[in-house]
Amino acid sequence: MIEEMKLIQPFFVIQQPRFYQEIYRKYGISHFYTFQLQRNQSAVMMVPDGCVDIIFAYKKKGMRARIIGASLEYHEFRADGEEEYFGVRFLPGYCPGVLDMGLPDLVATEYELSDGVQVRELLCCMENQVTFQHRIQVFLDWYLSLVTYTNMKNSHREILDDVIQIINDRKGQIKVHEIEHILNYTGRHINKIFKCEMGMSPKTFCRIVRFQRTLECLSYQSDVKLADVAVDYGYYDQAQFIKEFKHFCNLTPGEYKAMVYQRGFKEHVIDTQFLVKR
């Protein structure tokens, strides 16, 4: 299982004074989260993190659910005026096994979650839950009754997990030919498996991981210098850092740093521990 990946969607975090998340990191799930939007908000920005999310939107008149595939650039998540959200973020390389589609089918796409008897059962149960803890428990009970780590495996699972872990450990600063030497597979074989399973190349995933690590750095270290970040995360120069960051975030690193400092990013995030003994 992929370890120690902090996956940030900062524009979800800063929408309200408190953003609650429950770190899980089991059975392909990274964490659960909940946030609230103002009624007049029609969209919120999402940035690439290499993950698939299922997001439940609660309104007074009901609930709807969407599955959001991994994106390759920033995009808008349509809010449609919903007031409260509950989300499940899967680890990179994983998607809900109960869906009749793979990760490549989900890249840069969004689907309404409504088809199938099992999904309808979930939606019916989730609609009646009003607290973060109960929503987590209901989703997890449903999910684990259908999907286990064993039946999520396939013939390429071990290689994919190894490549993702190596890229994460190196903070995205690694080339495919270096992964070749670590795993003793050819670059062609690594690229083929990764693209087939993830729907993107290892190189693209490296860029996303490196961006996420710089995002984490700027979000949690208010005194860090942008020039130091560019060097520490292996960008050729500050110009490349700015260009790459803006491609993924629609803001320059300086603009992003000013925004999270002004809005107090760190103070917004609260880690719950409902599942500590589970």
| CA atoms 161, 236, 224, 248: torsion sign | negative
Q: To which H or E segment does residue 62 belong?
A: strand 62-68
Q: Which residues of 60-94 are buried (b: 16+ CB within 10 A; e: fewer)?
A: eeebbbbbbbbbbebbebebeebebbbbbbbbbbb
Q: How does strand 84-90 pair with strand 53-59?
A: antiparallel
Region(s) of the chain under CATH 2.60.120:
10-148
37-47 average pLDDT score: 85
Tell which wins on pLDDT, 277 or 186: 186
Lowest-confidence pick of 80-84, 218-222, 258-262? 80-84
Beta strands 269-271 and 19-26 are parallel
pLDDT digits (tens, 9 = 90+) for 126-149: 999 999 999 999 999 999 888 765
* Spatial distance between the Cα atoms of 196 and 42, rounded to a whole number of angstroms: 34
The DSSP bridge partners found for residue 21 are 33, 271
What's the CATH fold of domain 10-148? Jelly Rolls (2.60.120)
CA-CA-CA-CA torsion sign (98, 70, 257, 44): negative
Give the pLDDT confidence score for residue 277 in this predicted structure: 63
Residue type (1 letter), 57: A
**pTM (2 decimals)?**
0.93
Is it the case that residue 104 has pLDDT exceeding 60?
yes
The CATH class given to the 157-265 domain equals mainly alpha
pLDDT band of residue 81 (cuts 50, 70, 90) is: low
Q: What is the DSSP letter of 86?
A: E
Give residue 157's pLDDT: 84
pLDDT, position 41: 80
Q: With beta carbons less than 8 A apart as the criterion, state whether 214 and 224 touch.
A: no
Record the tokens describing residue 78, joined without a space. Answer: 């349509």
Secondary structure of the chain: what % helix, strand, coil (to 5)? 45, 20, 35
CA distance 86 to 10: 15
Both tokens assigned to 35: 């946030």
Neighbours of 155 (CB within 10 A): 7
pLDDT in tens, 143-169: 988 876 545 556 688 899 999 999 999
What is the arithmetic mean of pLDDT over 255-276? 91
Whole-number percent of the chain with pLDDT over 90: 69
pLDDT band at 92 (very low <50, low <70, confident <90, very high): very high
Do 111 and 76 contact (CB within 8 A), yes or no? no
For residue 26, the SS3 value is strand
CATH 1.10.10.60 positions along the chain are 157-265
How far is residue 147's CA from residue 190's CA, in Å, rounded to a whole number? Answer: 26
Considering Cα of 39, then 41, then 43, then 45, what sign does the dihedral take?
negative
